[in-house]
C-alpha cells in the first residue's frame, strides 16, 4: 500500500469509529473470574481500529432464561463497570456530552444497550432501573418471542404475524419518554411497523443486513430501509450475515450492503454495527455451535473483518470502492454521532 493511501486511512480513522453492536458484556460475564479482560483482550484491537464508541449489548442466552435473566443482566453490567473502573482507557457514557468528554480525554466510550428485553421480565418499572444504570438503547427482541414481541426468524418468511404486545408498546413509549434509543434490529416485520407507528424520533437498526443479499426476516427489506430513511434514522451494517454463502461473505460484499442502503436512503442513513462474534463462537464447544446452527444459522465470518482492528481494512476498502472522505467519515462515525447528539 502506498504512503498516501496509508495517510488517508490514518486521517479517516483519527476521528474514531463507532460500532453500535458488540456482545461485550456477555463475554465479560463469562470471563468474570479473570482480571483486566478489557485491557488485555479488547483494548489492543480497539486501539488498532481507532474504535471510539462501542454499543455494549446486554444479551441473555437461552440457557439462563427465564429465571436468571434479571440477575445475569445485572451481572453483565456489573462486570462492564468493574472492568471500566480498572482501566483509565474507557468510560461508560449516558449522554452525548459524556461521549464527547470521553473522546476529548482519549477514552473509548461505552454505550450500554440491551438486545431483547428479557431482563425486564414483564415489569415496566425495571426499565427505569436499567436507565439509571446507563442503558441508552433497547431492542425489544432477539430472534425469540418474549413479553414484548417477536423476533424475525432466520428464514425468508414465517415470522409470527403479530406485532407488539401491550407490554412491548409500553416499553417503546417509556423509552421515548426517558430518552432511550429504540433499536429495530431483530424485531419481526409486524413489530417493526408498529414501533414506527407509535414513535416520533429517528429510529435505528443497530446491526442488520439487506434482505436483497441475504433474504431472511431477521434482516431488513428495501421497504423497511426506506421507512428508516424517511424518519432520518440510521442502519448499522452487520458483518456476520452478509450472505448465506461462505464464499460470498467478503469485505467487498459488506461494502455492497453499505452501498445498497446508501443508494436507497442516502449516505446519512448508514453506519456500522459489526456484531463481531467469531471470538465468542471459537470459545464454544462443537455442541453449542450445532445448537446455534439448528436454532438460527451458522454465521459466516468475513476473514478480514472479524475484529475491531479490521476497521482499518474497511476504511481502505471504502476508499478503493470510490467513497469520498466525507462519506466514509459519515459511515464510520458521523451518522451515529448525529443520532447520539439528537437523542441522548
Ligand atoms: Zn443480534
Per-residue model confidence as pLDDT tens digits over 276-301: 999 999 999 999 999 999 999 989 99
Q: For cell 478480514, what's the residue? A: 304
Query: Ligand 1 centre and the CA of 21: distance in Å?
Result: 8
Q: How much of the chain, in percent, has pLDDT values that exceed 70?
A: 100
Q: How far is the CA of 185 from the centre of ligand 1 (A)?
A: 7
The Cα–Cα gap between 177 and 43 comes to: 34
Torsional sign, CA 126, 129, 133, 134: positive
Check pLDDT > 90 for residue 1.
no
- Average pLDDT in the chain: 97
Query: What pLDDT sits at residue 136?
Result: 98
| Residue 50 banded pLDDT, cuts 50, 70, 90 | very high
Ligand 1: distance of its center to the CA of 105 in Å?
A: 30
Neighbours of 274 (CB within 10 A): 29
Rounded to the nearest angstrom, the distance between the alpha carbon of 1 and the centre of ligand 1 is 34
CA-CA-CA-CA dihedral for 87, 92, 96, 98, to nearest 10: -50
Q: pLDDT of 151-190, one tens digit each?
A: 999 999 999 999 999 999 999 999 999 999 999 999 999 9
Instruction: Name which of 252, 115, 93, 262 is nearest 184 in CA terms.
Output: 115
Does residue 138 carry a pLDDT above 90? Answer: yes
Q: What spacing in Å lies between the alpha carbon of 6 and ligand 1's midpoint?
A: 33
What is the CA(7)–ligand 1 centre distance, in A? Answer: 34
Residue 115 CA to ligand 1 center (angstroms) comes to: 7
Kindly give the distance from the C-alpha atom of residue 343 to the centroid of ligand 1, in angstroms, as a whole number.
22
Q: 278 C-alpha vs ligand 1 centroid, how far in Å?
A: 13
Average pLDDT over residues 99-110: 97
Mean pLDDT of 226-255: 98
**Phi-psi group of 281: left, alpha or beta (phi > 0 → left; psi -120 to 50 → alpha; rest → beta):** alpha
pLDDT above 90: residue 134 = yes
Cα–Cα distance list, 228 to 70, 160, 222, 327 (Å)? 31, 22, 10, 19
C-alpha grid cell, residue 199: 414513535
**Cell digits for 219?**
434482516
Residue for grid cell 483486566: 36
Q: Pick the closest to residue 138 from 200, 181, 170, 108 (CA basis).
A: 181
Q: How many CA atoms lie within 13 A of 295 on its CB side?
A: 12
Three-state secondary-structure class, residue 112: strand
pLDDT for the residue 122: 94
237 C-alpha to center of ligand 1: Å?
11
CA of residue 217 to ligand 1 center, whole Å? 13
Closest CA to 180 of 140, 220, 218, 150: 140
- Cα 240 to middle of ligand 1, angstroms: 10
CA separation, residue 117 to residues 137, 148, 155, 288, 328 (Å): 11, 7, 23, 23, 33
Q: What is the whole-number distance in angstroms between the Cα of residue 246 and the centre of ligand 1?
A: 19
pLDDT tens digits along 56-66: 999 999 989 98
Given a cut of 80, is residue 324 above it in pLDDT? yes
Q: What is the whole-number distance in angstroms between the Cα of residue 150 and the centre of ligand 1?
A: 14
Q: What is the mean pLDDT of residues 88-93?
A: 98
Å from CA of 23 to ligand 1 middle = 8
pTM: 0.97
How far, in Å, is the centroid of ligand 1 from the Cα of 296? 11
220: CA distance to ligand 1 center in Å? 13
Q: Interhelix angle for 96-104 vs 335-343, to 10°? A: 130
Amino acid at each position: 500500500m502506498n504512503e498516501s493511501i496509508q495517510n488517508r486511512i490514518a486521517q479517516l480513522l483519527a476521528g474514531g469509529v463507532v460500532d453500535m453492536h458488540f456482545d461485550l458484556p456477555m463475554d465479560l460475564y463469562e470471563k468474570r473470574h479473570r482480571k483486566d479482560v478489557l485491557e488485555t483482550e479488547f483494548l489492543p484491537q480497539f486501539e488498532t481500529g481507532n474504535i471510539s464508541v462501542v454499543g455494549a449489548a446486554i444479551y441473555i442466552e437461552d440457557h439462563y432464561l427465564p429465571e436468571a435473566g434479571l440477575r445475569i443482566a445485572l451481572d453483565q453490567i456489573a462486570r462492564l463497570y468493574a472492568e471500566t473502573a480498572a482501566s483509565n482507557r474507557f468510560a461508560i457514557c449516558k449522554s452525548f456530552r459524556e461521549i464527547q468528554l470521553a473522546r476529548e480525554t482519549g477514552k473509548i466510550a461505552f454505550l450500554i444497550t440491551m438486545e431483547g428485553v428479557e431482563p425486564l421480565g414483564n415489569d415496566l418499572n425495571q426499565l427505569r432501573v436499567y436507565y439509571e444504570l446507563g442503558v441508552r438503547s433497547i431492542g425489544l427482541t432477539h430472534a425469540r418471542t418474549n413479553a414484548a414481541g417477536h423476533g424475525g426468524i432466520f428464514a425468508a418468511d414465517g415470522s409470527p404475524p403479530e406485532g407488539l404486545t401491550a407490554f412491548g408498546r409500553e416499553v417503546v413509549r417509556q423509552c421515548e419518554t426517558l430518552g432511550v434509543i429504540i433499536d429495530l434490529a431483530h424485531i419481526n416485520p409486524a413489530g417493526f411497523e408498529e414501533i414506527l407507528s407509535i414513535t416520533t424520533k429517528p429510529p435505528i437498526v443497530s446491526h442488520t443486513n439487506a434482505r436483497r443479499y441475504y433474504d431472511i426476516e431477521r434482516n431488513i427489506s428495501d421497504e423497511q430501509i426506506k421507512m428508516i430513511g424517511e424518519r432520518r434514522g440510521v442502519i448499522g451494517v452487520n458483518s456476520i450475515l452478509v450472505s448465506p454463502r461462505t464464499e460470498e461473505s467478503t469485505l467487498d460484499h459488506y461494502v455492497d450492503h453499505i452501498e445498497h442502503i446508501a443508494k436507497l436512503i442516502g449516505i446519512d442513513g448508514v453506519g456500522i454495527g459489526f456484531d463481531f462474534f467469531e471470538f465468542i463462537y471459537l470459545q464454544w464447544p462443537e455442541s453449542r455451535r450445532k445448537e446455534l446452527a439448528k436454532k438460527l444459522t451458522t454465521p459466516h465470518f468475513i476473514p478480514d473483518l472479524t475484529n475491531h482492528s479490521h476497521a482499518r481494512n474497511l476504511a481502505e476498502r471504502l476508499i478503493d470502492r470510490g467513497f469520498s472522505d466525507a462519506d466514509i467519515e459519515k459511515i464510520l462515525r458521523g451518522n451515529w454521532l448525529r443520532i447520539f447528539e439528537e437523542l441522548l
